[in-house]
Chains A and B, each alone.
Chain A
Amino acid sequence: MNNVFPLEVKNLCYSYPNRTGFLDVSFHLKEGELLCLFGKNGSGKSTLLRVLSTLHKPHSGSFSVYGIDGVKRKERIRKYLFPVFDENAHFDFTTGRENLEFFLRLYQSNQSGQCEHWCKDLDLNLDIKTGEYSLGMKRKLYLLEAILGQQNILLLDEPSLGLDSETRDNVFLWMQQQKPEKTSILFGTNRVEEAKYAERILFIDHGRIKQISSVEDLVSHMLTVKIYTRNDQFVELIDTANDLPDLVKRYLSFGMPTRIEIIGGDEEMIWTKEALEKIERAPGFVRKMIYRTIESYAKEKGYSRITPEIVDEARGRFERK
C-alpha cells in the first residue's frame, strides 16, 4: 500500500447525453495532499468528483484507490472515500448531533465524542434540528462529518458552498490543520481564494485537465479585474475576458462602476464573428497559420479583440513582408 498513490486516475472519460462531462483526465493524489480541482461552472469538476465517488460509472479509462480498481471494485474502495457533494444533504427532522452520529456510524467512525471542541471551532450548534440550520451551518456539519469520518480520501465538491468569506477561510485553515496526517483531500472549486490553500492545482476546462500548476501559475493565466465604484474598490480574477460582462453585472448591486481595470494574464484573443467568417474563407490547410499570424500581430499591437479591420491590417503587413 506504501508504493501506490491513494488515488490515481488514468484517461478517465464520462459524458452526459448533452455531451458535457470530462475527457481523458489523468492525475494522481499523494498521501496527505490537499489537491484542488479548479474550474469554472460546468467545466466538469462535479461530474469528475461524482465518478470518483463511485456514483457514476466512467465511460472509459480507469481510476484506482490504493491500487484497487475503482470501476470494478467500487464496494471495496468506498471504505477509503468520504465524498462531500454539492448538496447539503441531511435528515432535516433530526438534530445536527443525530445526523452526525448517523453518518459516522455509516463510516464506522468512533469519533463522535470528539465533536464538541470542533463545534466550538466551527461555531456550530448540534442540538437543533438541521431543518432549522442555515445553508452555511449545514455545510459546516457536512465538513465536520467528513473530517470525523476518518476516511483516507476526502472528495469535496465546493466545500465552501453557502459559507461567508470569513468562515470560508476559517474552514480551510481548520481543514489544513485538523485533518489527519495521512488524509488526502481533493476539492473542487471555482474560487482562486480557495485554491491557494491547495498544494497543487489541477485546472479543468471544458472537461479537460489543462494544466497542473501552483496558485501563482494559475493567477498568471488569469486576468485581474479591478472594479471601482464611487465608494468601493473590488478586485476579482477571471478566466477570460468573456467572463467580464457577468462579473460587472454581479457588482452592479454595489453601485455603478466608475472605472474598470483589467491587468495581466496570458489572455486569449477575442475574435469577432465577422473576423472569423473572413478567415473561414481561406483554404483549410493555411487557416491555422493565418490564425496564428493574426493573433501574434494583434498581440504585438496590443489588441485584445480581433475585428475584420485588424485581419486586413495583419494581411497587409504579411503581404508587404
Chain B
Amino acid sequence: MGKIIWLDFLKNKKNLLIKICLPFLLVFLSYQIGFGNLALVMVLIFTIITGAGLKIVQLKNEGLYSRLMTAPISKRRLFVEVTTSSIGLYFLQFLPTILLGVYYNQLEMFVFLLLSIVLVVVIGTLVGVHSRSFGQIHLNSLLTVLPLAGLGMIPVSVSYFFPFIYVAKSLYSLEGIFFSSLVALGFFFLLVIDVSRL
C-alpha cells in the first residue's frame, strides 16, 4: 500500500512542485514580518489534517476503501503502512519549509517539526476514517483543526503536550520532546485500536 501512496504522490510533478513551493513561500514571507513560526504551525496543521483525511475519503468514494477493508489483511498493518508512508511523503513535501523553520530558529526545532507532522498525519487519518463524504471531511477537519491551531497559538498548560507550541514559541525543551512524543504515540495507538474494529 505504501508504494501505491508514493506513486499517487509523485504522479503529477507540476502539482507536487506547487505543493512544495507554496508553503515555503508563505512561511518565508511570514518570517519577513515576524510571524514565520506561527505560519509554519498553521500550514502544517491545516494542510496535513485535511490532506490525510481527504485521501481516505477519496478511497471511500472510489470504492477502493471497501475493497481494502474486506481483503484478508490486518487492518492495523494496513493503516500503519498508510500512516508511515503519509508521514514520509508529507515530510518530503514540507522539507524545504521545515529547513526554513530550522534556519530561522535552532537545529533542535527539527524534532518538534517532525513530531508535528507525525501527530497531524495520525489525526488526519483518524478524521478520514470517521468521515464519509467530502462535506463531512470539511466539517470534521474544521472541528479538529481549530482546537489544535488554538493550542499552537495560546500557551496554556495543555498546549505543552503538543509539539506545535514549541515551534510557535521557538522554545526548545527536553520535557517538551517527551510530552509531545507521548501524545503523538497516544494518538497513533488510538488509530491502531480504532481501525482494528474495521
A residues bordering B, Cβ < 8 Å? 50, 53-55, 75, 78-79, 81, 83, 85, 87-91, 93-94, 102-103, 106-108
B residues bordering A, Cβ < 8 Å? 4, 7-8, 11, 62-64, 66-74
Asked if residues B70 and A54 are in contact (CB atoms below 8 Å), the reply is yes
Asked if residues B70 and A91 are in contact (CB atoms below 8 Å), the reply is no
Q: Which residues of B contact A79 (CB under 8 A)?
A: 72
Asked if residues B64 and A83 are in contact (CB atoms below 8 Å), the reply is no
- 24 contacts across the A-B interface (CB closer than 8 A): A50-B66, A53-B66, A54-B69, A55-B66, A55-B70, A78-B71, A83-B66, A83-B67, A85-B63, A85-B66, A85-B67, A87-B62, A87-B63, A88-B63, A89-B62, A89-B63, A89-B64, A89-B66, A90-B64, A91-B64, A103-B67, A103-B71, A106-B73, A107-B71
Closest CB of chain B to A21's CB: distance in Å?
17
Which of chain A's residues has its CB closest to B10's CB?
A: A93
Asked if residues A78 and B66 are in contact (CB atoms below 8 Å), the reply is no
Q: Which residues of B contact A54 (CB under 8 A)?
A: 69-70
Partner of B8, one of A55, A91, A102: A91
Which of chain B's residues has its CB closest to A108's CB?
A: B72
User: Roughly how many angstroms separate A107 CA and B67 CA in the complex, as a whole number?
Assistant: 11
Q: Which residues of A contact B69 (CB under 8 A)?
A: 54-55
Partner of B67, one of A75, A89, A94, A108: A89
Which of chain A's residues has its CB closest to B75's CB?
A: A75
User: Roughly how many angstroms separate A87 CA and B61 CA in the complex, as a whole number?
Assistant: 10
List 3 tightest A-B contacts by C-beta distance, closest first. A87-B63, A89-B63, A78-B72
User: Roughly how many angstroms separate A161 CA and B67 CA in the complex, as a whole number?
Assistant: 17
Question: Beyond A106-B72, A107-B72, is A91–B4 a contact (Cβ under 8 Å)?
Answer: yes
User: Roughly how many angstroms separate A108 CA and B62 CA in the complex, as a whole number?
Assistant: 23
With A75-B74, A83-B66, A93-B11 known, 15 other A-B pairs at CB within 8 A are: A54-B69, A55-B69, A79-B72, A83-B70, A85-B63, A85-B67, A87-B62, A91-B4, A93-B7, A102-B4, A103-B67, A106-B71, A106-B72, A107-B71, A107-B72
Which of chain B's residues has its CB closest to A87's CB?
A: B63
Q: Which residues of B contact A50 (CB under 8 A)?
A: 66
User: Roughly how many angstroms separate A81 CA and B69 CA in the complex, as a whole number?
Assistant: 12
Which of chain A's residues has its CB closest to B73's CB?
A: A106
Asked if residues B70 and A53 are in contact (CB atoms below 8 Å), the reply is yes
Main secondary structure of the interface of A (DSSP, over half): loop
User: Roughly how many angstroms separate A50 CA and B70 CA in the complex, as a whole number?
Assistant: 10
Which of chain B's residues has its CB closest to A131's CB?
A: B11
Asked if residues B70 and A81 are in contact (CB atoms below 8 Å), the reply is yes
User: Roughly how many angstroms separate A87 CA and B71 CA in the complex, as a whole number?
Assistant: 16
Q: Which residues of B contact A55 (CB under 8 A)?
A: 66, 69-70
User: Roughly how many angstroms separate A115 CA and B67 CA in the complex, as a whole number?
Assistant: 20
Q: Which residues of B contact A108 (CB under 8 A)?
A: 72
Q: Which of B63, B68, B72 has the most CB of A within 10 A?
A: B72
User: Roughly how many angstroms separate A90 CA and B4 CA in the complex, as a whole number?
Assistant: 11
Closest CB of chain A to B69's CB: distance in Å?
7
Q: Which residues of A contact B74 (CB under 8 A)?
A: 75
User: Roughly how many angstroms separate A108 CA and B72 CA in the complex, as a whole number?
Assistant: 9
Q: Which residues of B contact A53 (CB under 8 A)?
A: 66, 70
Which of chain B's residues has its CB closest to A52's CB?
A: B70
User: Roughly how many angstroms separate A102 CA and B7 CA in the complex, as a whole number?
Assistant: 13
Closest CB of chain B to A105's CB: distance in Å?
9
User: Roughly how many angstroms separate A78 CA and B73 CA in the complex, as a whole number?
Assistant: 8
User: Roughly how many angstroms separate A91 CA and B9 CA in the complex, as a whole number?
Assistant: 12
Closest CB of chain A to B172's CB: distance in Å?
41
Closest CB of chain B to A96's CB: distance in Å?
14
Question: Beyond A85-B63, A89-B62, A89-B64, is A78–B11 a contact (Cβ under 8 Å)?
Answer: no
Q: Which residues of A contact B62 (CB under 8 A)?
A: 87, 89
Q: Which residues of B contact A88 (CB under 8 A)?
A: 63
Which of chain A's residues has its CB closest to B3's CB?
A: A102
User: Roughly how many angstroms separate A93 CA and B7 CA in the complex, as a whole number?
Assistant: 8
User: Roughly how many angstroms separate A108 CA and B74 CA in the complex, as a whole number?
Assistant: 13
Closest CB of chain A to B15's CB: distance in Å?
12
Q: Which residues of B contact A107 (CB under 8 A)?
A: 71-72
Q: Which of B62, B64, B69, B70 has the most CB of A within 10 A?
A: B70
Asked if residues A94 and B72 are in contact (CB atoms below 8 Å), the reply is no
User: Roughly how many angstroms separate A53 CA and B67 CA in the complex, as a whole number?
Assistant: 10
Closest CB of chain B to A91's CB: distance in Å?
6
User: Roughly how many angstroms separate A81 CA and B70 CA in the complex, as a whole number?
Assistant: 8
Q: Which residues of A contact B72 (CB under 8 A)?
A: 78-79, 81, 106-108
